[in-house]
Amino acid sequence: MSDRDAGSGRRVYAWNVTTVPLLSLDPDLGGGIAASKRSLAERSCQARALDIPRGAWDVEAVPAEDRGGFGLLVLSGVLCRRVSQRHHHGAEVIGPGDLLRPWDQVGGWSSIPASADWQALVPGQIAILDADFSGRAAPYPEIAVALLRRGVLRSRYLAILVAILRQRKVETRLHLLFWHLADRFGEVHGDWIHVDVPLTHSLLSELVAARRPSVTTALTNLSELGILRRDGEDWLLKGPAPAGFEELRKAA
């Protein structure tokens, strides 16, 4: 949420807002900048950042004056975007490095009306790349190129998810989904990959377009095969990756 500061005319967030050294927190963003310009770029391209607590996130609370420029950049945490079309739901998992413009939506002209809501699965921080930031970053076009690449990568993550949904068996969809998530959020612990994302059976059913009872049955089967098991709210995945997963990633 946010309220307007009567003195400055600017919105003051109810969320904690800090100023962060963006290129230090996300070094790849300025990776193409020449060494001679790097220090100046780091000083110029600081950004305000929101601390997002776990739970529902109201993107409408981001005021209009912060919606210019590039948008929002996820620095840490894990978000879920859920899209609803009548009684059907789909979902997308979003993490560090993803570029968002949640206020850019398919409008009332769409023949298929849908709505979306956001939730922070893991608390995190999001940088506000508003018009002021865009102006400061203008002398460094490498940053704009890197952000464009982030947008393209997010579209390709979605293409992988679409390919996963084409698999006939729910068990196969879940196995592929967890490897897809492991690529982004996984950490190796011995023989297992720890996927540090609290995914409920209900959310998994939306991610793989299946009914919740079918997802529960498929998860039980994967557990009995020694492929996947629950670790508190998180998940442990054991290799190797299913056949065809490399081809699926390359195709995206």
**16 touches 51 (CB < 8 A):** yes
pLDDT at 6 over 50: no
pLDDT at 115 over 90: no
Instruction: Report yes or no on 200 lying in a domain.
Output: yes
CATH number at residue 49: 2.60.120
Query: In terms of residue numbers, what domain contains 79?
Result: 2-140
Instruction: Report yes or no on 100 lying in a domain.
Output: yes
Do both 9 and 117 map to the same domain? Answer: yes
Give the model's pLDDT for residue 219: 97
Do both 133 and 186 map to the same domain? Answer: no
| pLDDT: which is higher, 116 or 77 | 77
pTM above 0.75? yes
Instruction: Report yes or no on 54 lying in a domain.
Output: yes
What does the DSSP assignment read for 13-67? ESS-EEEE-HHHHSGGGGTTS-HHHHHHHHHHT-EEEEEE-SEEE-GGGS-GGGS
Residue 179 burial (CB < 10 Å; 0-12/13-18/19+)?
A: buried
Q: Label residue 248 by pLDDT band (50, 70, 90).
A: confident
Instruction: Report yes or no on 155 lying in a domain.
Output: no
Instruction: Report yes or no on 40 lying in a domain.
Output: yes
The total number of structural domains in the chain stands at 2
Do both 86 and 211 map to the same domain? Answer: no
Instruction: Report yes or no on 149 lying in a domain.
Output: no
Peptide bond into 113 cis (omega under 30): no
pLDDT at 21 over 60: yes
Do both 14 and 69 map to the same domain? Answer: yes
Q: Label residue 71 by pLDDT band (50, 70, 90).
A: very high
**92 touches 155 (CB < 8 A):** no
